[in-house]
Structure 1
Amino acid sequence: MTGMSLVAQGMDHEAELDLTRHEWPDAVRFIPYWGDLYWDGLDGERVLLLGESHYRKEGWSDSLEVTRPFTQDHFREMALPVRKDGDGPFFKALDLVLVGQQDFDLHEAADYWKRVAFMNLSQSLAGSQANHRPRNEALRDGSDVFVRDILPVLQPTVVLVLGRVTWRLLSHGKVEPALEPFIARQVNRGKSKRRYIESREIWSLDYPGGKALMTWVYHPSWHVDTWQDRAAALRHLVALSKKNCSHHLASIV
């Protein structure tokens, strides 16, 4: 595979069972997706892709019966080598983030999806169309749920935030100035005269029982970052996390 090898470096079986059987509090209205090989991870790092929000379809309510299985039901299909015809470009963009090359088959993408987790920060349904945005308050409230109720269960070591708005409203974590920022080298090559942000700081995010490194990319629906930059951002985080872990172990020895 290109760009990021799939290395098994898992946790014990008991931890995996705990995740499967976990009883989520009512504040977690959308149970995150995680693949069957999530504990093995990508290059030994547990990766969480953090999106913005789900939007409602006509007739949907905000009841737990509707929201609870939604994320898992859809993203389990990403771990299959067959996709629905209705899947839009957003999901192809996520495939490219994980695989890191333009020419791939769905078997390859499915293998990556088995090894990562995905969730949206907002714990409320947004509007009725994909371009409808969640309220800022929903993202702020979702941030607290994310850190308090979800991160201690998923225990990611890497979090890639999909969207600058989501990044700004994720009111947790701290910048790590000693860590090399990610540089989106192709972000300003379009025809737009607007200058987008190239340098993305690396932050650390502490949560009960663990710590993750995180940064952000522009939301794939904005078509600001290229797929190459989004894929490179993930690989940058994974490399930094592996390096930091090695340094930590060396200092212990």
Structure 2
Amino acid sequence: MEDSASLKFEDWPNAVAFVPYVGSRYLEGFGGRRVLLLGESHYREDGWTDDPALTRPFTRKTFGDMETCERKGGGKFFDELDRLLTSKGTPALSDAAQAWERVAFCNLSQRFVGTAAGHRPSGSDFKDGGKVLVYAILPILKPEVILVLGRTAWRMFAHGDRAHQPVFHARHVNSEGRRRRYLEERHVWSLDYGNGMAWMTWVYHPSWNVDRWEDRAAALRHLLGCPHDWPVA
């Protein structure tokens, strides 16, 4: 990989339905590491199909202006990712833009999931997407850190091994009183994808009011603090 940010759509394998967003300075690293944010899925508009002409550029069109100060869109999900990357509750747009220059983003599912927030990917969507991620996307991006944005995606992503690294503790989890107990401990896993390895952990989906932004930011920095020497099988 010489310059993943300039890869053309046709340079990605056909199995990659949604070509990842890659910041213009991704190869320089974020906190010294190449960082991939791994989401769950994209939503479709009524009438949209999974035609590659629509899907292939979709992620880059959606996230393409994140590294500029002239964004065309937004919403809670994007705002929370700005906080995650900057470790600031109210980040300046310029700070967020500079952070987005240094990371990559893709979703695990390689299919549109539906038309509304309540629509969820199927187990096969996650399973198939996991194979594409490991065998087609990661060997190109070569991330060293992967933060999974959603517990469901983490549970359905059947790759990697639990590492002998300190557990991340999310200290601000919204437990909703006694009605439901959300997990505070997040194990770190190592993922060998052939021509590289990455440290991984997860946070609850940024659109949910479970983890606070402080925990999501701390999870990323926990991974960035993992050693550079990889575990040996």
The reply on whether 1:151 has 2:138 as its aligned counterpart is yes
TM alignment of 1:76-115, pairs within 5 A: 76-84=64-72, 86-115=73-102
Match of 1:164 among 130, 145, 151: 151
Amino acid at match of 1:234: L
Counterpart position of 1:50: 38
CA distance change for structure 1 residues 152 and 198 in 2, over 3 Å: closer, same or farther?
same
TM alignment of 1:1-253, pairs within 5 A: 15-16=2-3, 20-21=7-8, 23-84=11-72, 86-176=73-163, 178-188=164-174, 190-191=176-177, 193-240=179-226, 244-245=227-228, 247=229
Q: Distance in 2 between matches of 1:63 and 1:17?
A: 24
Aligned residues: 229
| CA deviation after TM superposition for structure 1 residue 149, in Å | 0.2
Q: Distance in 1 between matches of 2:190 and 2:41?
A: 23
The share of aligned pairs that are identical, in percent, is 50
Look up the SS of the partner of 1:221 in the other structure: coil
Aligned-pair Cα RMSD in Å? 1.6
| CA deviation after TM superposition for structure 1 residue 151, in Å | 0.3
| CA deviation after TM superposition for structure 1 residue 88, in Å | 1.3
Give the ranges of 4+ consecutive aligned residues of structure 1 lying more than 2 Å apart after TM superposition: 188-193
| CA deviation after TM superposition for structure 1 residue 155, in Å | 0.1
The C-alpha deviation readout for 1:197-246, integer Å capped at 9, x for no partner, is: 11100000001210000000011122111110001000100111xxx21x
Q: Distance in 1 between matches of 2:166 and 2:173?
A: 18
The C-alpha deviation readout for 1:28-70, integer Å capped at 9, x for no partner, is: 0000000000001112100000000001012211100000000
Look up the SS of the partner of 1:161 in the other structure: strand
Look up the SS of the partner of 2:29 in the other structure: coil
Counterpart position of 1:8: none
Amino acid at match of 1:74: T
Do the aligned residues in 2 keep the contact of 1:47 with 1:117 (CA within 8 Å)?
Answer: yes
Q: Distance in 1 between matches of 2:146 and 2:41?
A: 16
Query: Quick check: which one's helix share is greater?
Result: 1
| CA deviation after TM superposition for structure 1 residue 130, in Å | 2.6
| CA deviation after TM superposition for structure 1 residue 189, in Å | 5.1
| CA deviation after TM superposition for structure 1 residue 192, in Å | 5.7
Give TM-score scaled by structure 1 length.
Answer: 0.86
Do the aligned residues in 1 keep the contact of 2:175 with 2:181 (CA within 8 Å)?
Answer: no
Look up the SS of the partner of 1:109 in the other structure: helix
Amino acid at match of 1:111: Q
Look up the SS of the partner of 1:205 in the other structure: strand
Residue range with higher mean Cα deviation, 56-65 or 20-29: 20-29
Q: Distance in 2 between matches of 1:17 and 1:56?
A: 26
Give TM-score scaled by structure 2 length.
Answer: 0.93
Look up the SS of the partner of 1:50 in the other structure: strand
Q: Distance in 2 between matches of 1:59 and 1:193?
A: 39
Q: Distance in 1 between matches of 2:69 and 2:175?
A: 33
Q: Which runs of 5+ in 2 are unaligned?
A: none
| CA deviation after TM superposition for structure 1 residue 82, in Å | 2.1
